[in-house]
Structure 1
Amino acid sequence: MTGPTAPASRSTEPESAAGWAPTPALGRAVLLAGLLLVAGVLLGRVDLVVLAAPFALGTAYALRRRPTTLPQVWITTGDDGPLVEGGEVSAAVSVGNPDAIDYDLVVVRSRVSPWLRIARAGFAGTGPADDALPADAPPAGAPPAAGTSAGTRRSVADRPFVTSVPAAAAVDLELAGRALRWGRHPVGPAGARVAAAGGLLVSRAVYTEPVGVRVYPRTEPFEAVEAMPRAAGLVGAHHSRRPGEGGELAGVRIFAPGDRLRRVDWRVSLRARQLHVAATLSDRDAEVVVLLDVLAEAGRSGGVDGSASVLDTTVRATAAIAEHYLHRGDRVSLVEYGPGARRLRAAAGRRQYLTVLEWLLDVRAEASQHEPYDQVFGPQQLSSDALVVVLTPLLDERSAQMLARLARAGRFVVAVDTLPANLTPPKDRGWAEVAYRLWRLDRETMIGQLREHGVPVVRWAGAGSLDQVLRDVARLATAPRVGSR
């Protein structure tokens, strides 16, 4: 369920009995048997000795075989393919018994990321999963209790689970649920404590490190049917404005040395009594640079079925745009506009799409005190013919200044507004609501100024979001450009 086979996290404990301690039950049994024996001897009463015999013999019989090793705990996750938002996730917390005696009681507990909603949990081989739930767990399909909702109900994985483990065997606590949001989400850490020798000995808690589950962003439907502003590669699906071999007719001209005979337009040649050939435009690929503005975050993320924050919209839109253009044979690169200035080099193909999804899992909003423009746009790091799609919430003035600088430099820039449309004003008293409305007006003014600088700003809306903008940019690409260095 996590793309490549997920690693297993296993506890490494020394094989010694130092981790085992007596339980209060052992102390009570020894104390009671000792008191009865002492009282029987001092008072000369045989009946007290007879009463002490079962406690002494039972304790000795239970301790005849003491455990010598601690249990082993490890976590595994499914590997049935890439896991996407909204998909089913599965994991297992395993407890192994390397000893030669049975573990009478095993208590297992594991932490799980809140973005992995575990709905079913139980030990393998114990029947239906719901049969292994703790006593306080609600039955499957039961409505949430009063004052709670399905989204806030406590996960069943947060509760302890109890089972037994035979000698030289292992049991698996299987967890199954649904992934709610993209990212790297941990399953674990997990821990277990074991009681043996009839409950007279208990091990110390054994823990294992968490295992990360990779959840890729769900690709929103996106199509852009308009031509690229300036195709720069040698082959591809876009019609270039340069003459060459292709399928787009550019006109008819007089035959010249080097022209192929299959290009001869016989109808025009017979009418003009001179050989003419059909001129075509070359089909070329394009480079698309997706710039992610990570200087600020806004909105509340509700997962795949809830509201989307700025980062949610940014990551999902990036995945959709990359999938579309990579499917058409174009080259796609990713750049973060922030203090980290992470960059993914331009490439094409299926492997690049998987690399894009992996790269997006580490996108985080980071505030910065300095201007990251020079760090992001270094010399020779951005092709002059590339289409730059900037995903930005326009919450920072530096983002608007960056867009204006790119436009003045003659780049083909499209700004995609990722600010949530349902962003609510703060509920604080005083001037908070008035300040929010003034900020909204100031932001609209900034967007208007960007459009005056030649930067189209469009809100992301899935399929067809960029068609009109790309049409305008492609039209501007045919006009002479005056760029500043």
Structure 2
Amino acid sequence: MTDRPEVLRPAVPHPRRGAVAAAADAVEPVPQWWTPTRALGRAVLLTGLLLMAGVLLGRVDLVVLAAPFALGTAWALRRQPVEAPRIRVAAEDGALVEGGPLTGVVTVGNPDRTGYDLAVVRTRVSPWFKITEAGFAGPAGVDRPLALPLSPGEAVDLELRGDTLRWGRHPFGPAGIRAVACAGLLASRPVLVEPQPVRVYPKTEPFDADEAMPRAAGLVGGHRSRRPGEGGELAGVRIFGPGDRLRRVDWRVSLRARQLHVAATLSDRDAEVVLLLDVLAEAGRSGGVRGPASVLDTTVRAAAAIAEHYLHRGDRVSLLEYGPAARRLRPATGRRQYLIALEWLLDVTAANSAHEPYDQVFGPQVLSSNALVVVLTPLVDERSAAMLARLARSGRFVVAVDTLPDSTLPPRRSQWSEVAHRLWRLDRENTVGQLREHGVPVVPWAGAGSLDLVLRDVARLASAPRALGR
């Protein structure tokens, strides 16, 4: 055993040494954004070969011939860029409606003190954006590169203008830039920027339902109810009683009968409208706002129009999906509910699944017995027809809106394609007839006045007396 004292390592490093070590650890390696090009390699190779040949052969002319290449390369590399080129995309993300104008900007910049001989910019946008004016727009859109020089510290905005063709969340971008500097001897690595999502709201088709709601259950609203109360619809004249207001006194009848009479009115009440979107199947090919509509296009645009109409009248509107996800928007009123409904509709997608849809959303805690259920369905899946029949048997007021476009045709693959399509149409018409026998009216979506006749029949059935079983 030696008498040498044991050397203990300090638990806390020396303050100066610790600061230096921390600073060294904090320094991250700077990425090398600029790399030599083939032109620089050729210049160095040619200069080296000429110098070696001149020295080995003892020829001064070869050395003199190599001097311009060496001086030119050194002069071009006297000031090299260090930072990467900058690029940014920005698009208008306000109240964009399909078919309306779109404005986007791609900003490219040079943060170095060395100018770029050439900067190549390329960007892409969603195919549902039709770019008509841009610095690098071609016949097919913006998927073409643009080359431009950039001075030190310069930033250039490339403005893109066009139209939106379809609702949804569409990407504006991505975009990339690559620059060349020092007379083409140095090139930057590609700099990419992520796309920016742009919200495009569906175009609300004109819709107006003048008929009354089947059963108005709220306290205030714009629908006439069968209950007496404060409203604008005259229900009759009766004798003045406790609680009646003096402004309701009908003086002409009171003077004739020599007793106070008041004008009785029916209360104005609101109703709850449930828009049920069938997303089990998609059919047709969307051509945008100016082209043919698919099932989802008709469903989303009709839902937006119906929600806008009833929310404008002061009713409560809720939205619900019939599919694997079973998304739901709670009922509410006002303009805020309309904006939330538009945001909710942007995420509607067709999701066909072999499993049965989530049916617990049709319980009494979700669907009120007094609510008017408007089902937007193409009636392509058999489960959709079964769902409509189940809602009708539960005693709710159901209206089915057919969203299948008339132009939906299968691809002609053989001589039997047309015959098979006709048989499928006949089977679908048979399903529609069975639903009508169960008391579910089915009407195609046709914009304004699509539901007037149906709501009139439903309101008449709701006001009719019901027989009580003994």
In the superposition, the TM-score normalised over structure 2's length comes to 0.90
2:319 is the alignment partner of 1:334? yes
- Alpha-carbon displacement from aligned partner over 1:216-246 (angstroms, at most 9, x marks no partner): 1111111111111111111111111111000
Post-superposition Cα deviations, 1:71-93, rounded to whole Å, max 9, x if no partner, equal 222211125x4111111112122
Report the CA distance between 1:297 and its aligned residue.
0.4
Q: Which residue of 1 aligns with 2:54?
A: 40
Question: What is aligned with 1:128?
Answer: none
Q: Provide the alpha-carbon RMSD of the alignment.
A: 1.9
In the alignment, does 2:99 pair up with 1:86?
yes
Could you list the runs of 5+ residues in structure 1 that have no partner in the other structure? 1-13, 123-131, 138-152
| Whole-Å separation in 2 of the counterparts to 1:71 and 1:320 | 46
State whether residues 108 and 193 of structure 1, in contact with CA within 8 Å, keep that contact through their aligned partners in structure 2.
yes
Q: Hey, what does 1:7 align to over in structure 2?
A: none
Query: Structure 2 counterpart of 1:114, which letter?
Result: P
Match of 2:133 in 1: 120
Superposition pairs of residues 176-195 of structure 1, within 5 angstroms = 176-195=161-180
Q: Tell me, in whole angstroms, the C-alpha distance in 2 between the residues paired with 1:287 and 1:442.
A: 34
Find the counterpart in structure 2 of residue 426 from structure 1: 411
Indicate which of 133, 150, 154 corresponds to 2:140: 154
How far did residue 46 of structure 1 move?
2.3
Which aligned pairs between 1:267-278 and structure 2 lie closer than 5 A? Answer: 267-278=252-263
CA displacement at 1:482 relative to structure 2 = 7.8
The percent of aligned pairs where both chains have the same amino acid is 74
Residue-pair matches, total: 442
Q: Relative to 1, partners in 2 of residues 1:460 and 1:385: Cα closer, same or farther, differing over 3 Å?
A: same
Query: In the TM superposition, what is the alpha-carbon distance from 1:15 to its structure 2 partner?
Result: 8.5
* 1:392 Cα deviation from its structure 2 partner: 0.4
> Equivalent residues in 2 for 1:4-19 (5 A)?
16=30, 18-19=32-33
Amino acid at match of 1:353: Y
CA distance in 1, matches of 2:267, 2:428: 42
Distance 1:392 1:483 in 2: 33
* Secondary structure in structure 2 of the residue aligned to 1:18: coil
1:196-232 Cα offsets, whole Å, 9 max, x none, are 1111011111111111111111111111111111111
- Counterpart of 1:253, as a letter, is R
Deviations 1:77-118 (A, max 9, x none): 125x41111111121222232222112211111121100111
CA distance in 2, matches of 1:293, 1:167: 57
Task: Measure how far apart 1:17 and its partner are.
Answer: 5.4
1:10 paired residue number: none
One-letter identity of the residue aligned with 1:104:
D
Give the match for residue 103 of structure 1.
116
| Structure 1 counterpart of 2:82, from 60, 64, 68 | 68
Q: String of CA shifts for 1:24-83, please: whole Å, max 9, x gaps.
A: 11111111112222222222222222221111101001111111111222211125x411
Query: Secondary structure in 2 aligned to 1:444?
Result: helix
Asked whether 1:165 is paired with 2:150, we answer yes
8 Å CA contact 2:88, 2:108 repeated in 1 = yes
Largest Rg, 1 or 2: 2
The CA deviation at 1:373 is: 5.0
Query: C-alpha distance in 1, partners of 2:90/2:134?
Result: 14
Deviation at 1:362, TM superposition (A): 0.5
- How far apart, in 1, do the equivalents of 2:108 and 2:52 lie? 43
Which structure 2 residue ranges, 5 or more long, are not aligned?
Answer: 1-27
Residues 481 and 226 (structure 1), Cα distance of their counterparts in 2 relative to 1, 3 Å cut: same
Aligned residues of 1:16 and 1:69 also touching (Cα < 8 A): no
